[in-house]
């Protein structure tokens, strides 16, 4: 839902004003289309995986999950099945949204997909889905009512477009808002997508002098300096591994509690 909101907002309200701001830049339509695609894919990973994990909350609320604990499956295996299912759905939905947006912009703006970048896009879609599942699970662990998750999902769906820098370019926001976005993993996922999709057109449009545009539009995020694609990837990998470690600790504690309950 959040992904469609950001896509429609861009088409209906944001596109014309943003293009007028960068009208002197060659191929500004195509550049901004790819910019929007990168942000929307990041939002898709966040929102679809959160919605998919709602099944876990629903099963906990209905006590169905306690029946699973009586099977031969370990607590870890049960948790992983929910997470992998959500990651698969998030990955598929990103591919679907990507195809829809590329198709739409190819018709309206003559956008040409750099097909050599497709394997990288697919890899990022898979990784971002796994990352979003891990981050969402950190919160899902402490939600026991499906109504509460629905309320959180509404907030996340509305706020995610802002937090990945899709509604408003990060460079024109006040410092506090920029810091908030920089603390959101989804903004870094969007940055990687944008670097992959926009690389060739950035070189052509700016002749190697695109740092101001990259900083303003959140194509590269700044911590003392603009982060390269590799630095951004390493940062997200660290966040992913830390998230996995926290989930394993929580899972270990919960599994011991469930053993006592069953006994």
CA–CA separation, 218 and 166 (whole Å): 9
Instruction: State how far the Cα of 15 lies from the Cα of 136, in Å rounded to an integer.
Output: 30
Buried b vs exposed e over 86-108: b needs ≥16 C-beta within 10 Å?
A: bbbbbbebbbebbeebbeebeee
Q: Is the pLDDT of residue 124 over 70?
A: yes
Q: What is the pLDDT of residue 257?
A: 64
For 66-102, write each residue's pLDDT tens digit.
666 666 677 778 888 889 999 999 999 999 999 999 9
* Distance (Å, whole) CA 121 – CA 125: 6
From CA 81, how far away is CA 102, in angstroms rounded? Answer: 32
Q: What is the pLDDT of residue 69?
A: 65
Q: Are strands 222-223 and 225-226 parallel, antiparallel or unpaired?
A: antiparallel
Instruction: Tell how far CA 237 is from the center of its chain.
Output: 14
pLDDT for 66 equals 67
Are 134 and 185 in contact by the 8 Å Cβ rule? The answer is: no
| CB distance 52 to 90 below 8 Å | yes
- Write out the E strands in 93-242: 222-223, 225-226
The β-bridge partners of 222 are: 226
pTM score: 0.90
**Residues 238, 251: Cα–Cα separation, whole Å:** 20
Which residues, other chains included, contact 105 with Cβ-Cβ below 8 Å and sequence gap of 6+? 30, 33, 37, 111
Closest CA to 257 of 82, 99, 119, 66: 66
Q: Among 90-99, 139-148, 250-259, which is the least confidently predicted range?
A: 250-259
- pLDDT tens per residue across span 11-57: 777 777 777 777 777 778 888 899 999 999 999 999 999 999 988 88
């Amino acid at each position: 839902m959040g992904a469609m909101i950001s896509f429609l907002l861009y088409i209906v309200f944001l596109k014309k004003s943003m293009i007028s701001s960068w009208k002197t830049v060659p191929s500004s339509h195509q550049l901004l289309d790819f910019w929007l695609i990168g942000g929307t894919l990041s939002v898709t990973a966040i929102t679809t995986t959160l919605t998919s994990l709602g099944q876990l909350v629903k099963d906990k609320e209905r006590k169905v999950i306690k029946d699973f604990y009586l099977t031969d499956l370990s607590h870890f295996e049960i948790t992983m099945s929910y997470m992998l299912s959500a990651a698969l759905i998030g990955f598929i939905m990103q591919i679907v949204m990507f195809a829809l947006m590329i198709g739409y912009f190819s018709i309206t703006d003559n956008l040409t997909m750099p097909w050599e970048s497709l394997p990288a896009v697919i890899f990022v879609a898979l990784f971002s889905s796994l990352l979003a599942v891990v981050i969402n699970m950190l919160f899902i662990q402490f939600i026991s009512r499906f109504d509460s998750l629905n309320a959180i999902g509404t907030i996340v769906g509305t706020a995610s477009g802002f937090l990945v820098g899709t509604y408003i370019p990060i460079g024109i926001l006040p410092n506090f808002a920029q810091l908030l976005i920089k603390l959101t993993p989804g903004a870094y996922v969007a940055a990687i997508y944008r670097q992959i999709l926009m690389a060739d057109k950035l070189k052509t449009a700016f002749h190697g002098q695109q740092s101001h545009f990259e900083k303003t539009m959140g194509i590269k995020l700044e911590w003392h300096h603009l982060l390269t694609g590799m630095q951004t990837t390493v940062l997200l990998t660290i966040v992913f591994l830390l998230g996995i470690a926290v989930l394993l600790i929580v899972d270990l504690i919960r599994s011991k509690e469930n053993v006592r309950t069953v006994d």
